[in-house]
Structure formats: structure tokens, C-alpha cells
Amino acid sequence: MIGTRWWHGVGRVALLSGVLAVVAVPAAAQRGRRTTLTVTGLPFTVTQTTPADFDAGSVILGTLTFNVNAISNRPAFSPRATTVSVRCFAPCPATGTLNAAALQWRRGDLGTWNTLTTTQALVETRNVTFNGTNDPWSNTIQFRYLLNWATTPPTAATQFRVQLQLVVAAP
């Protein structure tokens, strides 16, 4: 493994209000060779959940965009395999009583929803050539919370800490 970078965020899911945020935890550069992971589109706020949301079975919390960029003063460092993963940082949820199994994510270009767990889940892997193929590259992750008329409390504020991880390795 050449390097790993983590991004942590705190998500607050509430039926009346909520926030999902990401805060950077920087990794040290390795002799002028590094790959950055930047995240935009946060925080998310759910201002009010409607009966239509409950009828639909979920509420969309928001979408974040991540960007992977190879930075090097040594182009011979290419190519690199870059892998982005996501998880709910334990304890999950950090606070509150909402069920963690109802928090889901999906990559923006795919239609499949995945439950956010405390285990790293692959979002996407791309091979990067410095200043060439897939450099930089980006994608989006959308988050939603499943709602159930019988089991979801109407005013339960719950915080989830979301972690994005970038792993860089030789392909």
C-alpha cells in the first residue's frame, strides 16, 4: 500500500431537521508524492419530513461529491490504483435512537442502494496516471434514510459519523 487517506463526517438524521457533514483529516505527503481526496456538498439538512416521504418509504438526505487527484513532482510514480470506500464510524449511530440499518448510500451513477455499515464498503476503484488517464476523477454519493409509518419516530434526531477512505496502491 502506498497510502491511505480518511475523511470523517458527522451525519445528523432527524425527521424535522438534520445535518450530515464531513471534516478533513489530512494525511502527510510522501516525498512530494500524494493523492488527495476532497469532498464537497455538505452539510445536508432535512428541514421537514412530509407524509409523502413516509409514503415513498424514504427521505433523501443529500449528495456529496468526492474528487481524487494525483499530485506528484515525480511522474514516474504513475500509475496508481485509487480506491474510495465509505462506512459509518462506530458507534453507529453516534447519538440518538434511529436504526442505523435504515441509513443507505448509493454511487451517483448507479441505481443500487446499500446499507451504510461500520465496515468499509467499496464505492469505486480507478487506475490513475499522473496528469493523464483518470487524473483527476470524481463521482457522487447520495444518502437516504428509510422511513416507516409504524417504526420511525416522528422527531428522533440521530447523528451518524460517516467516513470516506482513499487507498492508493500500485496496480
Model confidence over 31-58: pLDDT tens digits? 556 788 998 877 666 667 788 989 999 9
Question: What are the structural domain ranges in the chain?
Answer: 3-169
- Of residues 12 and 171, more confidence is placed in 171
Instruction: Please give the pLDDT value at position 99.
Output: 84
Do 79 and 128 meet the contact criterion of CB atoms below 8 Å apart?
yes
Say whether 12 sits in a helix, a strand or coil.
Answer: strand
Contacts of 114 (CB under 8 A, 6+ apart): 104, 105, 106, 121
Please tell me the CATH code under which domain 3-169 is placed.
2.60.40
pLDDT winner (highest mean) among 7-11, 135-139, 153-157: 135-139
Q: In the predicted model, is pLDDT for residue 129 greater than 70?
A: yes
Q: What is the pLDDT of residue 19?
A: 34
Q: Which helix (H) or strand (E) holds 21?
A: strand 19-25
Q: Which residue has the higher pLDDT, 67 or 71?
A: 67
Whole-angstrom distance, CA of residue 16 vs CA of residue 13: 9
- 18, 48 Cβ separation under 8 angstroms: no
pTM: predicted TM-score of the whole model, two decimal places: 0.78
Q: Which of 106, 9, 97 is closest to 58 using CA atoms?
A: 106
Nearest to 123 by CA among 71, 69, 68: 68
pLDDT over threshold 70, residue 21: no
Q: CA-to-CA distance for 146 and 98, rounded, in angstroms? A: 10
pLDDT at 171 exceeding the cut of 80: no
